Chain A
């Protein structure tokens, strides 16, 4: 199996309506990003974080991944959006093909987004940085129009 694209899990869309997720910077929840090898097979049907096929701990990367720094949800035109600061793992030897953003606070660590890197990305005793797209109405990582 392999990564086959970016997905916003269907379960996440349901959970938006249920008020499960809170992306606010102050009172919000903790969201994490975990990295995976090419055996991971996430789709829109993915529901939660899993340790299966997660890359091994190395440098500042630990099991479960890194905590994302949230940017309070805002709007641009009629589109609501939220964003995260870029995330770096340092002194890390990692080979990853994609990532999963998940809610580390909510029960069951529900999935938020599946990210496909489009191929192998590797660092050797170096820095592995995930750069999120610009926080605009057409580019922000999570948008509701």
Chain B
């Protein structure tokens, strides 16, 4: 006889924000968590390596997310300017 078990469902994490999107830091954390994870029972040297890799990833991802946000904003500003919405463009510039 074979028994197949479905694992207990682990509660998802819920992140929310008010009057805007999630901050860069939280997005970076979510991204890094998707890329790297290390078991609590892993050998200390593996955990240490993972920790340094994670920190390096965080710095890189944070930098490029920031650039992506700035790039997208610049595009939005140009769309506003070309559409004659100068006030909207100015509001976006102040973000």
Q: A134-B33, A145-B4 are in contact. Are A128 and B9 (CB under 8 A)?
A: no
B12 to A133, Cβ gap below 8 A?
yes
Chain B's interface size range is: 20 to 34
Q: A126-B19, A143-B6 are in contact. Are A136 and B37 (CB under 8 A)?
A: yes
Binary flags per residue of A113-145, CB closer than 8 Å to B gives 1, else 0: 111111001111111111111101011111111
Where chain A touches its partner, the secondary structure class is strand
Query: Which A positions have Cβ atoms within 8 angstroms of B?
Result: 6-8, 13, 79, 86, 88, 90, 94, 96, 99, 113-118, 121-134, 136, 138-145
Where chain B touches its partner, the secondary structure class is loop
Residue B83 is within 8 A (CB to CB) of chain A in the complex: no
Query: Which B positions have Cβ atoms within 8 angstroms of A?
Result: 4-22, 30, 33-34, 37, 39
- Complex contacts, B8 vs chain A, CB 8 Å: 6
B14 to A124, Cβ gap below 8 A?
no
B6 to A115, Cβ gap below 8 A?
no
- Complex contacts, A121 vs chain B, CB 8 Å: 14, 16
